[in-house]
């Protein structure tokens, strides 16, 4: 079978190469999946650039996100069967509960080989059936960005209808967060440097769009939109250039879900920002299989369709990475494998 390999973390996009690998075989409580599609996350760009916060092994098969059809199951498998359409879970060994060190060592496309191959073997507890109304290409967008947004909104913030969330930018996590918030009856505020992207976000249900280039004090604009109270929750993906304003945007007792550092890691954090707002701050590292299944139930009930920016062919993987690096995408970038 064909697969992509990265010879060494940090080797760069152009170092990605197609190789022939032996057909994998499922063992006890494992499943063999014929991969139909994969999708990219900002983390995948960090792996090839060498900026990802964790080391990766040589000759890594990249990408955490992919979906396909189960074609064979190993002994002891009961959750899925041949013919089921599934997505792989970001963490192959985090079925539920608190995250453990073992779960953290099972991250696809980083700690272990990922999904950018024609066939992959996954753990039985490391796959979920995708909602029936989604294509496999749409299902491939769910594992990282979707589950991260669900963890932040439903698990950490526990948002309910009538509350307000602020989402930074229009990448995968933020757009999933917008769609999930809208389905839950949560008011969504979206920031972007592009008025065109803000218009698209409003078409997906955003109640307010703030251009942070023309309105650099976007935290004050968010508070004003919310009647001077501040927002209940911020999905923080910016890092160094946005964190202080995230605290400025939340209400007293508000929550900040720390997800990414697109503008670099915040090197300083004034504890007074937390004390003054009685803020609840939590780091979010994707989520468990249990969270994935709960999110899928919400997606199925509301017939949510992931926002797919562009679909690339398997032979055009480098172009897909470069499209993400350009930062012009809205939602998810997909690679069609088969």
Q: Which residues contact 142 (CB under 8 A, 6 or more apart)?
A: 65, 67, 87, 130, 292, 295, 296, 299, 306
Q: Is the pLDDT of residue 278 over 90?
A: yes
pLDDT of residue 267: 54
Tokens 């703030």 sit on residue: 210
* pLDDT > 90: percent of the chain: 91
Say what the pTM is: 0.95
pLDDT of residue 204: 97
Tokens 């792996």 sit on residue: 47
Closest CA to 154 of 230, 245, 233, 248: 233
pLDDT of residue 309: 97
| Nearest-angstrom CA–CA distance, 65 and 87 | 8
Q: Is the pLDDT of residue 238 over 70?
A: yes
Mean local confidence (pLDDT), 74-85: 98
Tokens 């508000």 sit on residue: 254
Return the SS3 of 225.
helix
Q: What is the mean pLDDT of the chain?
A: 95
Contact 166, 234 (CB under 8 A): yes
pLDDT of residue 263: 47
Query: Sorting pLDDT into bands at 50, 70 and 90, what band is 261?
Result: low
Q: Which residue has the higher pLDDT, 269 or 90?
A: 90
Residues 187-208 pLDDT 10s = 999 999 999 999 999 999 999 9
76 CB-side CA count, 13 A: 8
Q: Helical H runs in the chain?
A: 42-49, 101-104, 136-139, 147-150, 172-184, 195-203, 218-225, 243-249, 271-277, 289-302, 317-326
Contact 262, 240 (CB under 8 A): no
Burial 169-190 (b: 16+ CB within 10 A, else e): bbbbbbbbbbbbbbebebbbbb
């Amino acid at each position: 079978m064909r697969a992509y390999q990265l010879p060494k973390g940090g080797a760069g996009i152009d170092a990605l190469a197609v190789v022939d690998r032996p057909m994998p075989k499922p063992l006890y409580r494992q499943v063999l999946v014929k991969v139909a599609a994969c999708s990219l996350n900002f983390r995948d760009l960090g792996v090839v650039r060498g900026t990802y916060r964790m080391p990766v092994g040589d000759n890594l098969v990249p990408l955490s996100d992919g979906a396909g059809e189960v074609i064979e199951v190993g002994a002891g498998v009961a959750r899925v069967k041949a013919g089921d359409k599934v997505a792989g879970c970001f963490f192959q060994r985090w079925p539920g509960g608190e995250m453990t060190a073992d779960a953290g060592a099972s991250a696809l496309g980083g700690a272990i080989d990922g999904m950018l191959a024609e066939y992959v073997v996954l753990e039985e507890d490391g796959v979920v059936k995708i909602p029936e109304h989604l294509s496999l290409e749409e299902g491939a967008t769910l594992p990282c960005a979707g589950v991260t947004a669900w963890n932040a909104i439903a698990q950490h913030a526990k948002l309910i209808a009538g509350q307000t969330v602020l989402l930074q930018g229009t990448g995968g996590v933020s757009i999933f967060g917008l769609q999930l918030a809208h389905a839950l009856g949560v008011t969504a505020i979206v920031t972007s440097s592009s008025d065109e992207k803000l218009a698209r976000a409003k078409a997906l249900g955003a109640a307010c769009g703030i251009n942070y280039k023309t309105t650099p004090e976007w935290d004050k604009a968010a508070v004003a939109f919310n009647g001077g109270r501040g927002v209940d929750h911020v999905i923080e993906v910016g890092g160094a250039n946005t964190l202080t304003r995230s605290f400025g945007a939340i209400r007293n007792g508000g929550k900040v879900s720390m997800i990414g550092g697109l503008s670099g890691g915040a090197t300083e954090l004034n504890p007074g920002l937390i004390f003054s707002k009685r803020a609840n701050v939590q780091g979010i590292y994707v989520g468990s299989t249990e969270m994935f299944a709960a999110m899928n139930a919400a997606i199925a009930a509301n017939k949510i369709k992931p926002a797919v920016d562009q679909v690339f062919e398997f032979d055009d993987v480098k172009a897909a990475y470069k499209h993400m690096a350009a930062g012009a995408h809205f939602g998810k970038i997909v690679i069609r494998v088969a």
